[in-house]
Amino acid sequence: MSPVPISYCREHGMLKYAIRRILISIPILLAVVTLIFFLVRSMPGGPAVAVLGDYASKETIEALEKEMGLDIPIWQQYLVFLRGLLSGDLGKSLINGMPIAPQVARVLPYTLELTLSSAIFGILFGIPLGVFTALRRNRMFDYVGRTLSLAGISLPSFFLGILMMLVFSVKLDLFPVVGGGDIRDPIDSLHHLFLPGLTLGLMMTAYITRTTRSSILNVLREDYVRTARAKGMRERIVIYGHTLRNALLPVVSLIGVYAIVLIGSSVLVEIVFSRPGLGKMMVGAIGRRDYMTLQSVMVVYAGLVVIINLLTDLSYGLIDPRIRYD
Amino acid sequence: MKQQMRLITTKLAMVLAACVLMISLSFNYALSAGDQVLRMANKYGDAKSLDAHRATGSQDRLIVDLVFNGLVCYQPGNLSVDAIIPDLATEIPSSKVLDDGRQQWVFKLRQGVMTHPYDGNPGYELTSEDVVYSLQRAADPKRSSFAVDYSGMTFEATDKYTVQVTLDQPISAFLFLPKFANRGGGLIVAKKALEDKGDDWFKTHPVGTGPFVFKEYIPGEKVVLTRFDKYYKGTPKLDGVEWYYMPSDSSRELALQKGELQVIEGPKEQAWAEKVASYPGVVVDSPNSAETIIAHFNMTVKPLDQLKVRQAIAYAISRKEFVAVYGPKVSSPIYGVAPVGRMIAGLSREEAAKENLVFEQDLAKSKSLLAEAGYPNGFSLEVFTSESATYRRAYELLQAQLRKIGIDIKLSVVDHSTFHARIRQNLDPIVFYAAMRPNPDVILTQFYLSDSIVVTGKKAITNFSHIGEVDADGDGQIDSLDDLIVRARLEQDSTKQVALWKEAQLELLRKMVSYPVIAIGYIFARSPKVDWGYEMITITDGPNPTEKTRLLP
């Protein structure tokens, strides 16, 4: 799709709309951050107990909590956190004292490459499959496509991931099991990304196939499609010129939702494939009750969700010129 | 046109597939190129602290043991105190009692031991200054998780290679030496590195004198160690060790099968061991450990405050069923809180039987005791368990066994950290605790001394039963083991000391303060190419490579 011309943005108030949405996102993010901050601290067991384990005596817990700065009132901790967040500082891990921002910066590309590649895979395969199954409704191709997409939705990602590793890594010896590769080396990175990307991508494909199929079937029943056919237009133009573009609007809307589901599913895929990523970081932080790391990762997740929602909303206008942003 | 398009698409697909295949094969070749790096994976999500004096979890102990040395050490693969040998010290020290009643031990240090290089510093010779600094740090509750082990001790460097340890109260060598071995707080850190870089830095950049030098910690992923060429026992045969954090059991198994890892930790279950052993090219080891599973009865909760109720529960428990569930190759029944055959002063079945304190399953007797206690139809109890398989299985089995005598255990599951927090808040009426402690004194002190009572104790830790502040046998008197525990600790004669420890264990059974169920071993799977370089008899946190460990071609 060609870049959006500025004149278009001005005409449709797209920029204004984007700025307004970003401004609206700020109180939403603040509410989410506050909720996360207090939810994280409501978990039973603190970081001191998690670190000390069997050696968690009253005396050692108190000493360690003091060292971690958890002895100050919670509202003060909240203000410190907010102040840090506003200045772009996510703080330090309570457990190992390492700054969190560089850790997030290190793993975020792994999560992004995983979710993006899966989303692209899902769009590239899901939309054509959805179109084909819709055009061959109630025929063998449709039945097979629907069954496979149902399987794709039903199979848990961790199970599919393990199956993938068993076949492609252990039996065929094609792909590695451990790690995410060197992100600076595109070939190594792709080599490590292939199986996890495929695992999530298949799930995304299944979702998009089903949505596209039902959307196409709905549009095919519209009067303008019937009119186009009656005018003797070629079927290819009817399908790709008239039907698909109109059918894509709900698909795009749901792709946004599925992308958020994808980010959630990436947690399990990162664990199964032992890939670095926000999900793995989050699970580790939960186990260690590392409040600072946990709340920072959640804030990043919340930010990603807001961005995806914004991009989804903005993309409507590109597909459907009837949509106005003012 | 259509045909041409199809042809181009087919060719493109073939080229793409060929590229993927070639890249994969070349990478796999690179991976399998025979290096001497041992790659191991544990079940944890991440490290907690790599600081020798903060590393309490197994995932951290396994790493710090490779980076640091103690003044003395356990022989590799053998956790018996008899197997303690000199490490940074030249010999096992002897003690003398001073005129004022205090006790003094003198360590002579090995000369020429080098610390690891760190942050541009090439390393330096370890001296008594480092040792005293390290021991003082281990004894400081603000900087160490092991401080309680060193209370009442002072440390002094009398010359460059001599360190004197003075104790307010004399203890036996059996209790003294493990505190200075390569477990707990006895690991010696590089003073200059800590002073230069600080405690926070040290949590993720350990600097010691061990066979492997810390190279890199990637949070949530792995720790990379490289061999220390100047290691005083000789250059390690391995080029390095990589420890991966992989919480998924299946992923660890697959990585081992594929050869990306050489050693993996597994759940402590015989079924898992048998499954993994059936994979080609995989060997399963299950060395002993002194880890036990013991049920502690909270005597402040009704009706567990009645001795007869606790005895009824004891008679309803079948150790045989526990062994069957965990697997006979992995677990064995125990009759005292110190596991027999795995720890000194372990109480044998015969010794318990002499006093009729074996408590084998006898449902008729159990029901009769319940009726005598006023609960002929049983009762219900709300209990929670950790999600950890080791704990959950124990609780579920207990639930099934107690159902037979009418006790309805309403079981809820919480995550492991929550479990640890809540049992320390006195919230669970029956606490199954799986733990490994180095000797009977630590077990008795942490679980049965009145100071250790959860919430109310002066040094509250893991006395879940509340022995020491309750009337355990219904005679109107507070029952305490404090005197017996302290007497045993201070006893210098090892025979008498063992007798006192056994007496304390019998007393626990008489009052049915806790029920010793089973001892469980450690299980890990490895490639047959891993040659540890020592015999593995008993281990604690997991297998440790040494300077002699190598990968066979």
Domain boundaries, chain B: 35-47+210-287+524-553, 69-202, 291-520
What is the arithmetic mean of pLDDT over A82-109? 87
The C-alpha atoms of residue A123 and residue A136 are separated, in whole angstroms, by 20
Mark whether A81 and A197 lie in a shared domain: no
pLDDT in the model for residue B537: 82
Measured between beta carbons, the chain B residues lying within 8 angstroms of A173 are 24, 28, 258
Give residue B281's identity as a one-letter amino acid code.
G
Give B197: exposed, middle or buried? Use CB within 10 Å, 0-12, 13-18, 19+. middle
Given a cut of 80, whether residue A33 has pLDDT beyond it is yes
Segments of chain B with pLDDT less than 70: 1-34
Judge: A98–B147 Cβ closer than 8 Å, yes or no: no
Of the candidates B218, B359, B40, B334, the one whose C-alpha atom is nearest the C-alpha of residue A96 is B218
Given a cut of 70, whether residue A323 has pLDDT beyond it is no
Given a cut of 60, whether residue A2 has pLDDT beyond it is no
| Residue B244 phi, psi dihedral angles, 5° rounding | -100, 145
The C-alpha atoms of residue B155 and residue B132 are separated, in whole angstroms, by 6
Mark whether A143 and A280 lie in a shared domain: yes
Inside any domain, residue A1: no
Inter-residue contact B69 to B109 (CB < 8 Å):
no
The C-alpha atoms of residue B201 and residue B50 are separated, in whole angstroms, by 10
Q: Please provide the DSSP assignment of B383-401 as one string.
A: EEEESSHHHHHHHHHHHHH
Judge: A165–B421 Cβ closer than 8 Å, yes or no: no
| Residue B435 phi, psi dihedral angles, 5° rounding | -155, 155
Torsion, CA A217, CA A221, CA A227, CA A232, rounded to 10: 40
Interface test with A, best of B59, B201, B248 (most A CBs within 10 A): B248
Inter-residue contact B338 to B440 (CB < 8 Å):
yes
pLDDT in the model for residue A1: 41
Judge: B418–A176 Cβ closer than 8 Å, yes or no: no
Inside any domain, residue A121: yes
Interface test with A, best of B26, B242, B252, B258 (most A CBs within 10 A): B258
Inter-residue contact A214 to A280 (CB < 8 Å):
no
Inside any domain, residue A226: yes
Inside any domain, residue A122: yes
The C-alpha atoms of residue B471 and residue B511 are separated, in whole angstroms, by 10
- Rounded to whole angstroms, what are the CA distances from A306 to A23, A81, A116, A268? 11, 21, 16, 22
Mark whether A214 and A179 lie in a shared domain: yes
Domain membership of residue A260 as a residue range: 104-288
What is the widest separation between alpha-carbon atoms in chain A? Answer: 86
The C-alpha atoms of residue B274 and residue B283 are separated, in whole angstroms, by 10
Place of tokens 């009572």: B453
Q: Please provide the DSSP assignment of B14-28 as one string.
A: HHHHHHHHHHHHHHH
Given a cut of 60, whether residue A3 has pLDDT beyond it is no
Inside any domain, residue A283: yes
Structure tokens at A136: 């061959």
Q: Is A197 on the interface with B (CB under 8 A)?
A: no
Of the candidates B504, B449, B541, B489, the one whose C-alpha atom is nearest the C-alpha of residue B176 is B489
Give residue B518's identity as a one-letter amino acid code.
I
Contacts 24+ apart (CB under 8 A), B410-414: B410/B380, B410/B381, B410/B382, B410/B383, B411/B383, B411/B384, B411/B385, B412/B382, B412/B383, B412/B384, B412/B385, B413/B384, B413/B385, B413/B386, B413/B387, B414/A44, B414/B384, B414/B385, B414/B386, B414/B387
- 3-state DSSP call for residue A281? helix
Q: Write the class of the CATH domain B69-202.
A: alpha beta
Q: Is B49 on the interface with A (CB under 8 A)?
A: yes
Strands B408-414, B380-386: pairing kind? parallel
Judge: B204–A96 Cβ closer than 8 Å, yes or no: yes
Residue of A nearest to B45 (CA): A284
Judge: B220–A175 Cβ closer than 8 Å, yes or no: no
What is the count of structural domains for chain A? Answer: 2
- 3-state DSSP call for residue A249? helix
Q: Which CATH superfamily is domain B35-47+210-287+524-553 in?
A: Periplasmic binding protein-like II (3.40.190.10)
Mark whether A165 and A228 lie in a shared domain: yes
Mark whether A157 and A251 lie in a shared domain: yes
Measured between beta carbons, the chain B residues lying within 8 angstroms of A46 are 421
Given a cut of 70, whether residue A152 has pLDDT beyond it is yes
What is the H or E stretch that residue B302 is in? none
CB-side exposure of A119: number of CA atoms within 13 Å? 20
Place of tokens 């909720």: A35
pTM for the structure as a whole: 0.82
State the angle between helix axes of A157-164 and A186-220 in degrees (0 to 180), rounded to the nearest 10.
130
pLDDT in the model for residue A44: 72
Q: Please provide the DSSP assignment of B254-296 as one string.
A: HHHHHTS-SEEE--S-HHHHHHHHTSTT-EEE--B--EEEEEE
- 3-state DSSP call for residue B244? strand
Q: How far is A129 from chain B (nearest CA, A)?
A: 17
Q: Is A58 on the interface with B (CB under 8 A)?
A: yes
Strands B37-42, B263-265: pairing kind? parallel
| Residue B40 phi, psi dihedral angles, 5° rounding | -125, 155
Mark whether A124 and A203 lie in a shared domain: yes
Q: Is B198 on the interface with A (CB under 8 A)?
A: no
The C-alpha atoms of residue B237 and residue B224 are separated, in whole angstroms, by 16
pLDDT in the model for residue B17: 56
Structure tokens at B201: 């830095």
Show the CA angle centred on residue B52, arms to residues B51 and B53, nearest 5°. 90
- 3-state DSSP call for residue B467? coil
pLDDT in the model for residue B461: 87
- 3-state DSSP call for residue B542? coil
Mark whether A110 and A247 lie in a shared domain: yes
Mark whether A71 and A133 lie in a shared domain: no
The C-alpha atoms of residue B548 and residue B534 are separated, in whole angstroms, by 8
Mark whether A121 and A82 lie in a shared domain: no
Mark whether A146 and A76 lie in a shared domain: no
Query: Does the B291-520 domain belong in CATH 3.30.70.890?
Result: no
- 3-state DSSP call for residue A11? helix
Q: Is A105 on the interface with B (CB under 8 A)?
A: no
CB-side exposure of B467: number of CA atoms within 13 Å? 30
Inside any domain, residue A201: yes
Q: Is A189 on the interface with B (CB under 8 A)?
A: no
Inside any domain, residue A213: yes
Higher pLDDT, A115 or A256: A115
**pLDDT tens digits, one per residue of A170-184:** 999 999 998 888 888
Which of A162, A176, A284 lies at the smallest CB-CB distance from B46?
A284
Inside any domain, residue A130: yes
Asked if residue B303 has a cis previous peptide bond (ω within 30° of 0), the answer is yes
Query: Which residues are within 8 A (CB) of A195 and not within 5 positions of it... i.e. 6 or more apart?
Result: A161, A164, A165, A168, A169, A175, A273
Structure tokens at A115: 């979710």
pLDDT in the model for residue A71: 81
Inter-residue contact B293 to B432 (CB < 8 Å):
yes
Torsion, CA B482, CA B484, CA B486, CA B487, rounded to 10: 150
Mark whether A79 and A134 lie in a shared domain: no
Structure tokens at B324: 């069957």
The C-alpha atoms of residue B154 and residue B139 are separated, in whole angstroms, by 9
User: CATH code at A142?
Assistant: 1.10.3720.10
Task: Work out how many CB contacts closer than 8 A connect A with B.
Answer: 171
Structure tokens at B442: 């630590």
Residue of B nearest to A95 (CA): B48
The C-alpha atoms of residue B441 and residue B482 are separated, in whole angstroms, by 11
Inter-residue contact B153 to B166 (CB < 8 Å):
yes
ipTM for the predicted complex? 0.81
Judge: B457–A58 Cβ closer than 8 Å, yes or no: yes
Given a cut of 90, whether residue A233 has pLDDT beyond it is no
Mark whether A73 and A115 lie in a shared domain: no
Given a cut of 80, whether residue A316 has pLDDT beyond it is no
The C-alpha atoms of residue B401 and residue B404 are separated, in whole angstroms, by 6
The C-alpha atoms of residue B216 and residue B205 are separated, in whole angstroms, by 8
The C-alpha atoms of residue B179 and residue B186 are separated, in whole angstroms, by 6
Of the candidates B146, B147, B107, the one whose C-alpha atom is nearest the C-alpha of residue B128 is B107
Q: How far is B29 from chain A (nearest CA, A)?
A: 10
What percent of chain A shows pLDDT beyond 70? 91
Judge: A191–B46 Cβ closer than 8 Å, yes or no: no
- Rounded to whole angstroms, what are the CA distances from A245 to A101, A251, A312, B98, B327? 41, 10, 16, 93, 62
Give residue B441's identity as a one-letter amino acid code.
D
The C-alpha atoms of residue B299 and residue B472 are separated, in whole angstroms, by 7
